[in-house]
């Protein structure tokens, strides 16, 4: 666990961490998103020593020297350390796939939930809460089941049965409320902060990003410190894309690498709020739009980490692109057929994004590329029902298929 | 890769391995199941040397000195090495849970599929086939997507949509046939063997068990060689339960341990064929019964590894028990609420089995116990729909819940 301060992404005001402090009140909870800032100079020497001992399969807590809490959960020894596979795709050799589906609850979100719960334990809170349509909530519920803390999950009543099942089975108290995701989010945020519950809302709590940044650390060490040119990832609230930049930036800042990849955020064309905010240019502003996509994990009209996402992606010399739902479905199927990996819609968009950028010749054969697959396809089987054959055969028909 | 022979489980006749040889023709494909036999004396000295270098997170190919092939697949470095969690359950401290849901395709079956595909590559076969209701097939499809081989999967037309989706997305050719699992199994086995395709049918191919036994090796090394008293696992065809015994037996045979746990096979009461065959006593005989259970991964009326399963479980001083579907559903929910883990029905039966054996005082507080969780609950969300609250709230109702 590393000492740190919190700094407003907009006005740069600095704060000492304290329970209940999640954002800069002067700037409000979107403009006033906080960054966790360590004393990088003091870390630099220590990290170089540690470099020799990094383990490609160890949990994300091997990076505790750059994390704001200590591992205390049953599952902590197995969060992160996920595979980095390499495939030949679209004529590019060794396209890297960071496969975060093998985390305990089968998504990238375990990295953030673990940090959140461990911070909540540090603060001796007894309730953790979150508004989520899916992975963040199921991750919180699973990892928190072994603590004394209660888990309260606020979801729109329309959440798919499968996601509700995972939540309830993992022991969370689920409040399914008749409203949109954004309405339920705002309602529960106000309620939870007033009650003093520990907040695991995407992008409000600055510590979530600290867990997520470990994905970038792992990409570096699993590449033997040879940092890729591009990293592509799906974008909803903007926290994962921001976290990747921060991870690569921190490793550079403490002297472990000399390069930050171009970070490409891939959104759904039906609701690409952050892309829109980014393309309006500086100063980046909060945005709230309508829209929809089959990729429910990135279906966000009012992104909470929009300022960080825009600033960080710009700093990486990256940008945002978007895919139609048709392109997203095609990406799921093509990713599966070429690699074997079954990703949820939001997990497959980096693959679709790469395809698009190669077609547009923005990424070429000499580039090294890493795709971050954030969630398992089993989480949303319904999304691909339309792409699946329903054909059934009698024994006679089956036999005929194999007669010469 | 280790040199080996094949030996009939019934008549003990020995065979040199050759393509197309899956069982002893004198005894038929159930009585004549083959065992893979190594020269254990020659391994003994080597293994003791290796002991010092075992890694709790390394892939199952760290045990290549006891495996019949070499790793050649993209995914091989990440198969096995799955977590061993410890929980306090039913008054027992540190009940171990071997969590195989974090394998690439989210089930225990990856261990077997990897060995099968690597053997098929050794034999230069160009089609691998299998009849499966789920995990074995999706595992084969995923791991095989990166080879030049085609994957043919034969399934009953009634398989859950989620399982079919995973198969098709992962690039397999799926033949969904109107028949029971047993009918489809027999049809495809006859067809595939005639065609010379590589056979990944549960229990026919003796090499599948070689992959699965690595789960036992990992339980030993993750316990620092302190072998548990009991291991509980779900039983359908009988291969996983047999493989666990063989793994523990081999480590004892080569001098790495001095104990084999009592292996408890847990079946579904609605279709507990192996339990029935076991309780009829010796000589153990093939069995074929009707019946049904919600735990589709262990819904097998004509188990192919029945002889091995009975002989091996007996040799471990273990036995078989069964649970009603009601007890299985309760096990999924209780396992989730107490540990956070969401298992598929067949994955939750060891938990239900432990509960039963503690109630019957067959397992007591002084025993050390390991539960093997073989598949992720996301694979069969429908199974638990009945156990989930459907309650929805208005904002006003939600607010009232939290007023003092």
Q: Whose structure tokens read 């076991």?
A: B278
Residue B210, pLDDT above cutoff 90: yes
Work out the average pLDDT over B257-281: 97
**Chain A contact set for B389 (CB, 8 A):** 168, 174
pLDDT at B396: 92
- Judge if B77-106+209-387 and B107-207 fold alike in CATH terms: yes
CATH of A77-105+208-387, one of 3.40.50.150, 3.20.20.70, 3.40.50.1100, 3.40.50.300: 3.40.50.1100
Band (pLDDT 50/70/90 cuts) for residue B27 is very high
Distance CA A319, CA A231 (A): 11
* Core vs surface per residue B323-347: b (16+ CB within 10 A) or e: bebebbbbbbbbbbebbbbbbbbbb
Are A195 and B385 within 8 A, CB to CB?
A: no
Does the beta carbon of B53 lie under 8 angstroms from any beta carbon of chain A? no
Q: Above 0.95 for ipTM, yes or no?
A: no
Helix orientation angle between A325-339 and A345-359, rounded to the nearest 10 degrees: 90
Confidence of residue A180 (pLDDT cuts 50, 70, 90): confident
Is residue A401 less than 8 Å (CB to CB) from chain B? yes
Average pLDDT, chain B: 93
Mean pLDDT on A191-202:
94
Q: What's the token pair of residue A164?
A: 């509700």
**pLDDT score of A316 more than 80:** yes
> In chain A, what percentage of residues exceed pLDDT 70?
98
Judged by CB atoms closer than 8 Å, whether chains meet at A340 and B144 is answered as yes
Q: What is the structure's pLDDT at B404?
A: 65
Nearest CB among B106, B168, B333 relative to A378 is that of B106
Q: What percent of chain B has pLDDT over 90?
A: 79
CB contact under 8 A, B145 and A338: yes
B248's enclosing H/E stretch is helix B239-253
Instruction: Read off the pLDDT of residues B233-264 as tens digits, 9 standing for 90 and up.
Output: 999 999 999 999 999 999 999 999 999 999 99
Q: What is the pLDDT of residue A377?
A: 85
Q: Write down the pLDDT at residue A296.
A: 82
Q: Which CATH number fits domain B77-106+209-387: 3.40.140.10, 3.10.100.10, 1.20.1600.10, 3.40.50.1100?
A: 3.40.50.1100
Are residues B81 and A157, on separate chains, in Cβ contact within 8 Å? Answer: no
Whole-angstrom Cα distance, residue B17 to residue B235? 28
Whether B195 and chain A come into contact, CB under 8 Å, resolves to: yes
Lowest mean pLDDT among A265-274, A335-344, A377-386: A377-386
What integer pLDDT is reported at residue A305 of this predicted model?
A: 93
Which stretches within B56-109 are classed as H helix? Answer: none
pLDDT in the model for residue B49: 66
Predicted confidence at residue B156, as pLDDT, reads: 87
Contacts A384 to B, Cβ<8 Å: 165, 169
What SS3 class is residue B71? coil
- Write down the pLDDT at residue B62: 95
Contact A2, A67 (CB under 8 A): yes
CB-based contact, B183 to chain A, within 8 Å: yes
The mean pLDDT of chain A is 93
Contact A387, A348 (CB under 8 A): no
User: End-to-end distance of chain A based on CA atoms, in angstroms?
Assistant: 66
Whether A27 has a pLDDT exceeding 90, the answer reads: yes
Mean pLDDT of A48-66: 87
Which of B180, B202, B133 has the alpha carbon at shortest distance from B375? B133
Q: Among all chains, which residue has been given the structure tokens 């796939």? A: A97
By C-alpha distance, the chain B residue nearest A187 is B395
HEC readout, chain A:
CCCCEEEECCCCCEECCCCCCCECCCCCCCCCEEEEECCHHHHHHHHHHHHCCCCCCCCHHHHHHHCCCCCCCCCHHHCCCCCEEEEEECCEEEEEEEEHHHCCCCECCHHHHHHHHHHHHHCCCCEEEEECCCHHHHHHHHHHCCCCCEEEEEEECCCCHHHHHHHHHCCCEEEEECCCHHHHHHHHHHHHHHHCCEECCCCCCCHHHHHHCHHHHHHHHHCCCCCCCEEEEECCCCHHHHHHHHHHHHHHHCCCCCCCCEEEEEEEHHHCHHHHHHHCCCCCCCCCCCCCCCCHHHCCCCCCCHHHHHHHHHHCCCEEEEECHHHHHHHHHHHHHHHCCCECHHHHHHHHHHHHHHHCCCCCCCCCEEEEECEEHHHHHHHHHHHCCCCCECHHHHHHHCCC
| pLDDT surpassing 90 at residue B44 | no
Sequence ranges of the domains in chain B? 77-106+209-387, 107-207
CA distances, B308 to each of A121, B206, B246, B285, B374 (Å): 48, 11, 10, 10, 20
Check residue A250 and give its pLDDT: 97
**Each residue of B61-118: pLDDT tens digit?**
999 999 999 999 999 999 999 999 999 999 999 999 999 999 999 999 999 999 999 9
Which one-letter DSSP state was computed for residue B95?
A: E
Per-window interface: A 334-363 vs B, CB < 8 A: 336-342
Across A391-395, B42-46, B231-235, least confident range: B42-46
Q: Looking at residue B390, what is its pLDDT?
A: 81
Closest-CA residue to A138 (of A100, A174, A183, A177): A174
Cβ B342–A402 below 8 Å, yes or no?
Answer: no
Q: Inter-chain contact B145–A336, Cβ cutoff 8 Å?
A: yes
Average pLDDT rounded to a whole number, residues A368-387? 86
Quote the tokens at residue B302.
Answer: 């004509």
CA atoms of B167 and B159, how far apart (whole Å): 11
Q: Does B169 touch chain A (CB under 8 A)?
A: yes
In the predicted model, is pLDDT for residue B52 greater than 80? Answer: no
Are the Cβ atoms of A106 and B106 closer than 8 angstroms? yes
Of A171, A178, A378, Cβ closest to residue B162 = A378
Q: Which among B42, B23, B68, B101 has a CA at the least distance from the CA of B246?
A: B68
pLDDT tens, position by position, B118-143: 999 999 999 999 998 678 998 999 99
Task: Tell me if the pTM is above 0.90.
Answer: yes
Distance CA B178, CA B307 (A): 29
- pLDDT for B382 equals 77
Q: Which CATH number fits domain B107-207: 1.10.1060.10, 3.30.390.30, 3.30.1330.10, 3.40.50.1100?
A: 3.40.50.1100
Which pair of tokens denotes residue A225? 């410190």
Q: What is the predicted pLDDT for the residue at A49?
A: 67
């Amino acid at each position: 666990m590393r000492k740190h301060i919190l700094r407003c992404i907009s006005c740069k005001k600095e704060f000492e961490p304290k329970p209940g402090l999640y954002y800069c009140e002067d700037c409000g909870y979107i403009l006033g998103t906080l960054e966790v800032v360590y004393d990088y100079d003091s870390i630099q020497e220590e990290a170089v020593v540690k470099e020799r001992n990094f383990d490609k399969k160890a949990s994300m807590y091997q990076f505790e020297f750059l994390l704001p809490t200590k591992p205390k959960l049953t599952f902590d020894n197995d969060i992160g350390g996920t595979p980095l596979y390499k495939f030949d795709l679209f004529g590019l050799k060794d396209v890297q796939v960071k496969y975060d589906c093998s985390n305990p609850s089968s998504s990238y979100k375990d990295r953030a939930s673990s940090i959140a719960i461990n911070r909540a334990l540090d603060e001796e809170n007894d309730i953790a809460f979150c508004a989520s349509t899916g992975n963040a909530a199921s991750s919180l519920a699973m990892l928190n089941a072994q603590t004394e803390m209660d888990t309260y999950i606020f979801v729109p009543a329309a959440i798919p049965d499968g996601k509700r099942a995972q939540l309830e089975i993992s022991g969370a108290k689920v409040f399914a409320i008749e409203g949109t995701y954004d309405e339920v989010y705002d309602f529960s945020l106000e309620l939870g902060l007033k009650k003093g519950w520990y907040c695991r809302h995407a992008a409000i709590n600055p510590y979530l990003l600290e867990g997520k940044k470990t994905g970038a650390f792992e990409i570096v060490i699993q590449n033997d410190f040879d940092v890729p040119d591009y990293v592509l990832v799906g974008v909803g609230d903007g926290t994962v894309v921001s976290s990747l930049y921060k991870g690569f930036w921190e490793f550079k800042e403490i002297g472990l690498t000399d390069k930050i990849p171009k970070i490409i955020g891939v959104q759904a064309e039906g609701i690409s709020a952050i892309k829109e905010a980014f393309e309006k240019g500086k100063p980046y502003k909060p945005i709230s739009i309508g829209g929809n996509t089959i990729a429910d994990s990135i279906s966000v009209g009012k992104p909470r980490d929009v300022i960080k996402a825009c600033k960080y992606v710009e700093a990486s010399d990256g940008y945002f692109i978007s895919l139609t739902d048709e392109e997203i479905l095609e990406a799921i199927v093509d990713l599966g057929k070429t690699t074997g990996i079954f990703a949820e819609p939001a997990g497959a968009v980096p693959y679709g994004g790469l395809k698009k950028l190669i077609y547009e010749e923005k990424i070429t054969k000499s580039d090294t590329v890493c795709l971050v697959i954030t969630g398992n396809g089993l989480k949303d089987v319904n999304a691909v029902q339309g792409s699946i054959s329903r054909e059934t055969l009698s024994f006679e028909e089956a036999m005929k298929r194999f007669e010469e």
